[in-house]
Each structure stands twice: as C-alpha cells, then as structure tokens.
A = this chain, B = another copy of it.
Amino acid sequence: MYIDYKKVVSEILDSRKETGGIHNIYFAACGGSKAGLTTADFFLKCEAARLESHVYTAKEFVLCPPRAFDANSIVVTLSASGTTPEAVAAARAAREMGAVSIAIVGKQDSPLAREGDYVFYNGDEPKYQYSTCSMAIALKFAVELLHQSEGYSHYEEMQKGFGILDDVIAKAREYAEAGAIRFAQEHKEDKVLHVMATGANYNVAYTTTTCILMECQWIHSNPIHSGEFFHGPFEVVDKEVPFLVLVGVGREREMDERAVAFLQKYGKRVTVLDGKEYGIDILGDSVSEYLSPLVFTGVLSRYSHRLADARNHSVAVRRYMWHVPY
C-alpha cells in the first residue's frame, strides 16, 4: 500500500478552487470504524481555523444530512470489509452531491471502494502496522489537508511522530502485556466494566466499550467521557464497580487525572492506563495528543486478547453478527 497524500490533497483542493474551496469535511462510518475516524476529526476541530469537521454514524448522515454538506465538502467513509451498507450509502450520497468521496477500505474490490473518488486501501500490508491502519490513514489525510489548505505549524513534527509510531506502539504493547494479564484475571468474571477517556482518546474508550467489551465479550459498559464523569455517572462508583481509565498525555490530561483521583478514593477496582507510561509523550510535544489514540488502540488490543483468554471467550465469537439477518 502506498498513498500519495500530497497528490490526492492537491488534486482535491485544485478541483474546488474555482468554486470557493473545500469548506467542510464529514467522517461517516459505523461502530469502531466511526470511532477510528474521530481521531482525524478531533485533530481538525483543534487545529483548523476555517475547515469545519464533523463525525456521523453513517446512516444518520444519509437520513438526516447536514444542510452544509454540498459539492465543496469532503466525505470520508471507512469499512474494513468494504461492504458495510451504511458506509456505502454515505459514500454514494457524497458522489450524488458532487462532494469529494474518500473511501478507506481493507478490501479493494468492494462496494465501498466503488463509491470512492479516492480509495485508500490498507489491506495488503506485509504485516499489520498501526502507522498504516485506517485510523492513521484518516489522520494522515487530515494533516495533509490542513497543511495544504491553511498551513499546519507542527506538520514536520507530526511526520516525525508518524515515523516513530510503530516503534513506540511495539514497545507499548510489550510493556502492556503484564498489565493486560493482571487485568484479565481481575475482570474475567465481571458483567459490567466502564471505560473512561477524554479528548482524542475518547474514541478509544468508545471502541473498547462497543467492540471489545459489548461485541466480543458481551460485557456491559458505558464509554464515559472523563469531563462528564462528575455530572452523573460517578454516582455508580463503589468498591465493586470496575473502571478502566485511559489517561492522556496532552491538554486533556487533567480531566482524566481528576477522574482517576476520585476513583482511587471512592472506588477500588480501577485500572489506569497512563499514556506517559506507554511512551506516548515521546511522539512530540505538540502532536502526541493526536497520535495517542493509535497507541492506546495497540495497547487495548492486548487487553482485549488477554481478557478473551482469561474468559475462554474468543474475540471471534459472535451470536448475531455474520450469523443472522438483521
């Protein structure tokens, strides 16, 4: 796989130059894929002065489309299989609108790929690398888009961060192993397990709840934003209720730390994954915050597999998905 982000972005911007330029971008996908795109959305919300960015679950984008969505919009869709009907419909809506349709897929010959003006294919890597996963592809595209359209002062630092990302994640995953085994033993009997994060990492909490716990382990969970914790959810805290908290390395960190302090005082069963322990801050002072969801995704994958082992409940088991029509 090789994606020439510079060329793609340059072509897109040129194509809309005469009509006022690209004014907004919509990320539209489902479940873990939607969460994956949120990293790019968060980056653009924080760093873009003019380009407006939004995330939608794909079906809502199709049924309740934003009125600001027009031929000067970009729509980024994502589906690993390339077949998710809602994502395909969103990409089709983009083409019908005359917007720019970007499809990120893990399968090149797929319905979603056929709806993309540009197809970012990440399926034929020799081995899985986080720096070329779908989340990273969407973020790299967003970084390039911002840089060419408005300028991004930390562009070089971001490229450096991407350059060392796989090493940082490999080390983080290795470091995570012991904790993942302890976590799995501690929680193998639990029926409820809440996950907390904030900022760019909130989407990792969402994926952990939605895909790892509810989808793969049938464990109830709420992905709680650390900034919302004290406005309702914290009342469930006692010495029994387990929480998993991702602590960010950027500006959002104080929200996570405040939640952890409370949990350590009034709760008991708290697992803290501190981004600093995983070396995320090495990725660059101004960019590590945006790259951190990629590292946490790598770490949580270890947690997911060790939990599956301890529960003797494979991550491949489903009761409905792939088995019944819905």
On A, residues with C-beta under 8 Å from B are 24, 30-34, 42, 45-52, 54, 57-60, 63-68, 70, 84, 86, 191-192, 194, 198-199, 209-211, 214-216, 218-223, 225, 227-228, 230-237, 241, 250-252, 254-255, 258, 262, 266, 318-321, 324, 326
Residue pair A45, B63 in contact (C-beta under 8 Å): no
Residue pair A225, B50 in contact (C-beta under 8 Å): no
Instruction: Name the 7 nearest CB pairs between A and B, nearest first.
Output: A31-B231, A215-B232, A210-B232, A57-B227, A30-B231, A52-B52, A59-B227
Q: Which of B228, B230, B236, B320 contacts A326 (CB 8 A)?
A: B230
Residue pair B34, A47 in contact (C-beta under 8 Å): no
Copies in the complex: 2
- Chain B residues, CB < 8 A from A209: 222
Bound state CA distance, A136 and B190, in angstroms?
A: 41
With contacts A215-B232, A218-B236 taken as known, whether A199 is within 8 angstroms of B68 at the C-beta atoms is no
- Chain B residues, CB < 8 A from A46: 64-67
Bound state CA distance, A68 and B233, in angstroms?
A: 31
Residue pair A63, B255 in contact (C-beta under 8 Å): yes
Residue pair A60, B227 in contact (C-beta under 8 Å): yes
How many whole Å from A61's CB to the nearest CB in chain B?
9
